[in-house]
Amino acid sequence: MHYSWHWKVLLEAEPGGTGTYLHYLIVGLGWTLATAAAAWVIALIIGALVGTIRTTTSRWAVQLGNLYVEIFRNIPLIVQMFLWFFVVPELLPEALGNWIKQMPPPWGSYLPAVMCLGIFTSVRVAEQVRAGIGSLPRGQRMAGTALGLTQAQAYRYVILPQAFRIILPPLTSETMNIIKNSSVALTIGLLELTGRARAMQEFSFRVFEAFSAATVIYLLTNLVVVVLMRVLEAKVRVPGLIAAGGNAPQAGH
């Protein structure tokens, strides 16, 4: 039993008439990155906000932050995808819901996918931000207060700049996670990289060529992300400030 490889299939034309299969997959990578990048913006903003709120002294704000985190952490990503795609448009005011449902492809899948991934990842960012702030010595906050800074100022000028530098490495893995997780959007019809590899397999019957190509593209993308984040880490490094905290094992994907 053996499988006869036929790599040239990548250079053959795909049935949609947009070009070769390779080109078809690269466009898929484009959609993967476009989804991940937009979702990353949402995740970073909400995650930083919620993570910070959970370290403040306001009890109800902490509780609210915890509730947000628990909700979006305990529902599978694909179920959240379905909620954004099938359920949310029904719950919105009718005109708005219809507008979303009638968006031309791929935007009708893209928008829910970005919202879903953004919120899903914001929870993980919030956890990292909270941990980063928690790893700073208590004296930092006290020194801020002693200098006469308000709580908001202490966060802005003392705590957050240090916390974000500390959590850059885990944020690198979150960047790779958001790229990987965007593949779940194929279940709501977004033709990103994995979705296109699957489609290519169905059109051309070249199963392993399609998945191998997608795998290699994902590996290369990861490599680029790692290099870029290293550059960023080096750029923002404060001389003398050693990143705190070892790499404690974490469950996750």
Partner 1 sequence: MGFDFDVIERSLPYLFRDGMTFTVTLTLLAMTGGIFFGTLLAMMRLSALKLVSMLAGAYVNLMRSIPLVLVIFWFFFLVPYIGAWIFRESQPIKVGAWLSAVITFTMFEAAYYCEIMRAGIQSIARGQVWSGYALGLNYWQTMGQIVLPQAFRNMLPVLLTQTIILFQDTSLVYVISATDFLGAAAKIANRDYRLVEMYSFVAVVYFIISYSLSLLVKRLQDRIAIIR
The site for partner 1 (CB under 8 A) is made up of 1, 3, 70-71, 73-80, 82-83, 86-87, 90-91, 176, 180-184, 186-187, 194, 197-198, 201, 207-208, 211, 214-215, 218-219, 222, 248-253
Q: Least distance from C-beta 83 to partner 1, angstroms?
A: 6
Q: Least distance from C-beta 80 to partner 1, angstroms?
A: 7
Q: Which is nearer to partner 1, 161 or 252 (CB)?
A: 252
Q: Least distance from C-beta 253 to partner 1, angstroms?
A: 6
Q: Which is nearer to partner 1, 164 or 203 (CB)?
A: 203
Q: Which is nearer to partner 1, 78 or 103 (CB)?
A: 78
Q: Least distance from C-beta 82 to partner 1, angstroms?
A: 5
Q: Which is nearer to partner 1, 162 or 173 (CB)?
A: 173
Q: Which is nearer to partner 1, 68 or 155 (CB)?
A: 68
In three-state secondary structure terms, 20 is: strand
Q: Within 10 A of 28 (CB to CB), how many other CB atoms are there?
A: 25
Q: Least distance from C-beta 211 to partner 1, angstroms?
A: 5
Could you tell me the CA-to-CA distances from 127 to 72, 119, 170, 184, 244 in Å, in that order? 12, 13, 10, 22, 16
Helices (H), the chain: 21-53, 59-73, 77-82, 88-91, 94-101, 107-134, 138-146, 151-154, 160-166, 168-181, 193-204, 207-236
Rounded (10°) angle between helices 168-181 and 207-236: 160
Q: Least distance from C-beta 109 to partner 1, angstroms?
A: 15
Q: Which is nearer to partner 1, 102 or 139 (CB)?
A: 102
Q: Is the dihedral of CA 108, 112, 113, 118 positive or negative?
A: positive
Q: Which one, of 29, 72, 77, 79, lies nearest residue 215 by Cα? A: 29
Q: What gap in Å lies between CA 162 and CA 5, rounded to an integer?
A: 52
Q: Which is nearer to partner 1, 157 or 205 (CB)?
A: 205
Q: What gap in Å lies between CA 65 and CA 59, rounded to an integer?
A: 10
Q: Least distance from C-beta 247 to partner 1, angstroms?
A: 8
